[in-house]
Structure 1
Amino acid sequence: MDKVPAAYQATRGSVLDVDTTFYSRLTDPSARERVDSLVVPIREGRAWQVPAGHVMRLTTLEGPQVGDLNLWNRHNPRERFWASRTRQLQRAHVSTFDRLWSTLPYLRPMATIIDDSLAGYGVDEQGGRIHDLLGTRCDPYVNRLLTGEDFDHHCHSNLVRAVLPHGLTEFDVHDVLNVFQCTGLNEDDQYFMKACPAREGDYLELFAEIDLLCALSCCPGGDLSVELWGPDAGDPLLTCHPIGVEVFSLAPELLAGWQPPVPSPYAGGHGLTGPSVDWTAEKRRRAER
């Protein structure tokens, strides 16, 4: 069967045309300095900031563990990670040189993946792949529908608690990148999850294209080797492990020629008539304030 081409394809010189040489050199451990670190405990969430031009590394510290990652523009939380558009522009499971895109009307790369210790996993015999954008965070509302019980440490709730000190609320929590998570679609086109293949010390590194506020939940499902719902559901507490977060500044010479991407230059008229507003300038003002 012939391979069907992707609907969204990069043209040379567009923002989709990634400079792999530039991003590859950002992984040099001798040209970076750690400026922040924290640990996300099991069944909890934490939030932190990453300045533009810095690298963050997420690491499975003690064993396999799935994490749910949210991103916002640190200066304007209305601009946040857009999982569905990232899925279209990149792929349903992301890895090295894929970018995480922001919502309209900004639509620009928020972060670029520069290194992934699980990049070689590929596609397994069931069609599972790593670092999932097909699904989203587990939440107490769905859990209530499926079980009739309340549970306050699903990823949605963990992210809510994590961002409250930063002035955000539940309404700001959005669809996630499921890091280290192995998922796919079965023969009935239904979403499935598999046991996380990560081991102690596996990592994912992302380069911050703009100033970021990040939040991560250590999924209460741990490595997802135990079913969360259905007749065989159990308590996966023993499969839960913490995730480490590190933030690194980079040697200035590595960033020569790089600039944070600007918001989409679309004028924002939408075919409407009325008083003229320079929406491009307004978006840039809000993004940078």
Structure 2
Amino acid sequence: MTERTLLYEHIMEPATGKAVELLAGQVLRIEQIGVAGQCADFNAFNLHDYKECFHTGRTRHMHGMHPTTGDFLWSAPPRDRPIAAIVADTVGTNDVLYPRCSGLLYEYQFGVEPHTNCHDIQAEAQREYGLTSDDVHDSFNFFMHTGVDQAGHPFIAENVAKHGDYVEIIALIDLLAVPNVCGADTFATSSFELKPLRIAIYDGLPEDLAQFEGRPELAKFRSQLTTEDFAAQPIKADRELYKDESYVPNYVNYPISLTDVPISLSPEHQTMLDELVATGEFGETDADVLRYVFFSWWIVNYMKGPKHLDQAAED
């Protein structure tokens, strides 16, 4: 494959996101740069009409709960069209089942407030382009490992992404693309630890779009409406998105403060921990596995509301 031209890159620190203009034919890469996996939430808007935005429901209907390479990101009705496509995915554990996390979850379920969360991060990142908290929509959750158990309950499993893993999407229309570092450190979403992510924008190559040529989903259908088709005229509000050059980020709980907590284990418990580390299922270090064990125990015994654990795995 011919080398793409790098147009922009940025490191998203924990508790932050970034709104970027992604023009039709350009490729956005979201890349793991930590040791273990980090979930990335993602919103997207038509750059010239923000009322057209990414829709998890239509995407889920078309591609299931775990879209991956070759699948589209769809906009909501009445536009109902692919606005981006996944051209590469080295993990394949994306999610469009779960909504974005919000401050309520941490205040209600964990008794913690304020807490970094995807809704507030998205709202702050989108503010650079004049959007408000009401404009944040349910997210495409890259690298989020989820499923549904036999009783029909959704669960969040251990993040399996590793350093260097990435997803790439190509814009099919001009977009405002808004990825963020998921703020969930008390769920398995990102292995109970927040880590930075790298984003990069490249000029797309002919072969990036070639893999989608002839796809029936890209046809034009009569039921796909635009503002010109609406009964209510004129259309209210300025829908074009413009960058606020005076914008200064102000994310909740940023920068994240980390505190080392020494843990003393008996020989028996150390042996148990060593056995869990050896499985490779719960992290790569003693600290990784201890976080997993502690938060899983806390969720089962103290967290209010639905637990979102894989009961089969827990058993």
How far does the alpha carbon of each residue in 1:131-170 deviate from its partner, in whole angstroms, 9 at most, with x for none? 0111111101233232344224111111111110111001
Equivalent pairs, count: 229
Aligned equivalent of 1:110, options 83, 89, 94: 83
Which of the pair is proportionally richer in helix? 2
Amino acid in structure 1 at the alignment position of 2:141: N
Aligned equivalent of 1:183, options 104, 121, 146: 146
Moved more, 162-171 or 215-224: 215-224
Counterpart position of 1:57: 29
User: Matched residues in 2 for 1:241 and 1:185: separation?
Assistant: 26
Aligned equivalent of 1:45, options 17, 31, 35: 17
Structure 1 residues 31 and 227: CA distance shift in structure 2, 3 A: closer
User: Matched residues in 1 for 2:53 and 2:113: separation?
Assistant: 28
TM-score (norm 2): 0.65
Equivalent residues of 1:79, 1:287 under 8 A apart: no
Aligned equivalent of 2:105, options 128, 142, 159: 142
Counterpart position of 2:204: 250
TM-score (norm 1): 0.71
- Say what the alpha-carbon RMSD is for the aligned residues: 3.1
Counterpart position of 2:291: none
SS of 1:38 mapped into structure 2: strand
User: Matched residues in 2 for 1:132 and 1:278: separation?
Assistant: 33
Counterpart position of 2:286: none
Q: 1:90 Cα deviation (Å)?
A: 1.1
Aligned equivalent of 2:181, options 214, 218, 229: 218
Counterpart position of 1:7: none
Structure 1 residues 151 and 104: CA distance shift in structure 2, 3 A: same
User: Matched residues in 1 for 2:12 and 2:224: separation?
Assistant: 41
Q: 1:187 Cα deviation (Å)?
A: 2.5
Structure 1 residues 31 and 264: CA distance shift in structure 2, 3 A: farther
User: Matched residues in 1 for 2:34 and 2:157: separation?
Assistant: 19
How far does the alpha carbon of each residue in 1:210-249 deviate from its partner, in whole angstroms, 9 at most, with x for none? 0011112211235944899xxxxxxx4xx22111111111
User: Matched residues in 2 for 1:46 and 1:244: separation?
Assistant: 11
SS of 1:77 mapped into structure 2: strand
How far does the alpha carbon of each residue in 1:188-213 deviate from its partner, in whole angstroms, 9 at most, with x for none? 21111111100000000111000011
Aligned equivalent of 1:158, options 121, 130, 143: 121
Aligned equivalent of 1:77, options 35, 50, 57: 50
User: Matched residues in 1 for 2:83 and 2:46: separation?
Assistant: 8
Amino acid in structure 2 at the alignment position of 1:38: H
Counterpart position of 1:266: 223
Where in structure 2 are the equivalents of 1:193-232 lying within 5 Å? 193-222=156-185, 224-225=187-188
Amino acid in structure 1 at the alignment position of 2:199: V
Q: Which has the larger radius of gyration?
A: 2
How far does the alpha carbon of each residue in 1:28-78 deviate from its partner, in whole angstroms, 9 at most, with x for none? 3x2420111111111222211110011111101123101111111111110
Equivalent residues of 2:27, 2:171 under 8 A apart: yes
Which ranges of structure 1 fall in alignment gaps of 5 or more residues?
A: 1-27, 120-129, 229-235, 269-276
Amino acid in structure 2 at the alignment position of 1:165: E
Aligned equivalent of 1:96, options 69, 79, 91: 69
Equivalent residues of 1:60, 1:200 under 8 A apart: yes
Equivalent residues of 1:108, 1:262 under 8 A apart: no
Equivalent residues of 1:223, 1:240 under 8 A apart: no
User: Matched residues in 2 for 1:62 and 1:149: separation?
Assistant: 25
Which ranges of structure 2 fall in alignment gaps of 5 or more residues?
A: 242-315
